Amino acid sequence: MSEYRTESDSMGQMQVPAEAMYGASTARAVENFPVSTLRFPREFIKALGHIKQAAASVNLGLGRLPKNRAELIRKATAEMIEGKWDDQFVLDIFQTGSGTSTNMNANEVLAHRCAQLSSKVSVHPNDDINMGQSSNDVIPTAIHLAATDLLLADLIPALKQLHVELVKKAKANDTVIKIGRTHLMDATPITLGQEISGWARQVELGIQRLESCLPRITELAQGGTAVGTGLNTHAEFGARIAMQLSRDYGIKFNEASNHFEAQAAQDAAVELSGQLKTVAVSLVKVANDVRLLNAGPRCGLGEITVPSVQPGSSIMPGKVNPVIAESLAQVCAQVIGNDAAISFAGASGLLDLNVMLPVIAHNLLESERLLASASRMFAEKCIEGLTANTERCAEQIEWSMSMVTSLAPVIGYDRASKIAKQAVAEGKTVRQLCEEQDVMPLADLKRLLDPATMLHPNR
């Protein structure tokens, strides 16, 4: 048996691997773009399958596609949606900026599968499977479908899981009083619960920011064809596609209100990426706080302990590191970098088409997947098992010179400042020095230096 077969496209003949489901256009692109090992992810291929399936149904309903061809396409696309032919999507992310090669990859795989399903009905990759479509509206639509699906099915649920764990931990530690820190220097007391509640609110606001993008990311470019005019498709095609995809995904999608914007720009993807970056920035803050508070266990802050999940050193026996928080921080670095790539790509809308669609698709979906996985990991393997070191927290409070802050309204800022500096110089606590100097009656001193009275505004 020959290892190759000969197929043709509009540019001539091509040698295609004998067992490949794709055809000449895809084989040509394989040769043209040997750049990386990066390929379109499962969510994107699934979205392409849904688009092709919806198009077949809509074109059948509009009387443009015969029933026998539509039924074959729907059978083939059902398999594609399930992931049966993912190994046939062989093209590099760094390809034609419109993603035309990957659109044709899908068309050819589906046409080949239709031929396998029936030798009596001929299904053409362009005339039938791509009917009423252009790569210029298919690929932007697939980006929005896949990004919305990942957002609602994976990322937001993962962030909600993390939020729930943070809220639980904040409530559980609401009475654990510790020293606050500003500029990494001692400040006035705070509870560990109050500190963690700030982390929880960051995650909660991140969820709200992501949800705020939904009205734009659920607009679909499908129906604009080549440049947004809808040439070679039915006037109702875009609206019907949106309705069908809404049923398929269980998510409300709408036809783009302006097809020229939907294809010439990718602002909705840039907006979503920006909010993903904001979530990443929030999570870095949380991860770094956990690492700082956990530092030690004996020679650092040591106010909390995170679960031990693996040995921390190949040379220092017994060392355990906050590796889950470190992993999360690295994910966030990648997401922030992805946003820079997406921002540059989003600025590459040249006249009537953005020509960096594959890079936007890859980076946007990667950011969503990474944040979802890392958030779930952080919730389960770090926050859930986080414990307070209450004795250490109490020691730090008593030793801090910032305890003098509560005395300032009574004895004045200048005298309080002098006491704080003297306490540091002499290695004494503020309480010890005030007692030695008989600054005020002991009952008043005890009341003012009670850290529990410093946790809220004066009443």
Query: 420 and 377: one domain?
Result: no
> Are the C-beta atoms of 113 and 76 separated by less than 8 Å?
yes
Q: Compute, in degrees rounded to 10, the torsion defined by CA atoms 177, 179, 182, 188.
A: 80
* Residue 255 to residues 12, 132, 217, 314, Cα–Cα distance (Å): 36, 15, 11, 57
Inside any domain, residue 458: no
> Would you name the residues annotated as active-site residues?
183, 313
Query: 142 and 286: one domain?
Result: yes
pLDDT over threshold 50, residue 1: no
The answer for residues whose C-beta is within 8 angstroms of residue 373's C-beta and 6 or more apart is 158, 331
Mark which of 80, 109, 131 sits at the end of a domain: 131
Inside any domain, residue 35: yes
Q: What is the CA radius of gyration of the chain?
A: 30
Query: 58 and 177: one domain?
Result: no
Inside any domain, residue 149: yes
Among 395, 167, 383, residue whose Cα is nearest residue 289? 383
> Are the C-beta atoms of 138 and 182 separated by less than 8 Å?
no
Task: Write the pLDDT tens digit of every residue in 46-69.
Answer: 999 999 999 999 999 999 999 999
What total number of domains does the chain contain? 3
Query: 142 and 91: one domain?
Result: no
What's residue 2's pLDDT? 67
Query: 98 and 121: one domain?
Result: yes
Inside any domain, residue 365: yes
Q: Rounded to an integer, what distance in angstroms lies between the CA atom of residue 275 and that of residue 271?
A: 6
CATH number, domain containing residue 90: 1.10.275.10
Inside any domain, residue 231: no
User: What is the distance of C-alpha 204 from the center of its chain?
Assistant: 14
Query: 364 and 415: one domain?
Result: no
Inside any domain, residue 241: yes
Query: 28 and 104: one domain?
Result: yes
Binding-site positions read 98-100, 124-127, 134-136, 182, 314, 319-321
> What number of H helices and E strands is found in the chain?
18, 10
Mark which of 74, 98, 131 sits at the end of a domain: 131
Query: 194 and 216: one domain?
Result: yes
CATH number, domain containing residue 151: 1.20.200.10
Inside any domain, residue 166: yes
Binding-site positions for substrate read 98-100, 124-127, 134-136, 182, 314, 319-321
Strand segments, DSSP code E, in 225-356 are 254-255, 304-305, 349-350, 353-354
Query: 349 and 204: one domain?
Result: yes
Query: 67 and 113: one domain?
Result: yes
Q: Rounded to an integer, what distance in angstroms lies between the CA atom of residue 169 and that of residue 120?
A: 64
Query: 142 and 127: one domain?
Result: no
| Structural domain harbouring 444 | 400-453
Reported pTM: 0.95
CATH number, domain containing residue 423: 1.10.40.30
Q: Rounded to an integer, what distance in angstroms lies between the CA atom of residue 104 and that of residue 24?
A: 10
Inside any domain, residue 232: no
Task: Write the pLDDT tens digit of every residue in 380-421.
Answer: 999 999 999 999 999 999 998 888 999 999 999 999 999 989
Query: 176 and 321: one domain?
Result: yes
Task: Write the pLDDT tens digit of every residue in 213-272.
Answer: 999 999 999 999 999 999 999 999 999 999 999 999 999 999 999 999 999 999 999 999
pLDDT over threshold 50, residue 311: yes
* Residue 24 to residues 15, 35, 103, 119, 215, Cα–Cα distance (Å): 7, 19, 13, 20, 39
- Burial (Cβ within 10 Å: 0-12, 13-18, ≥19) of residue 79: middle
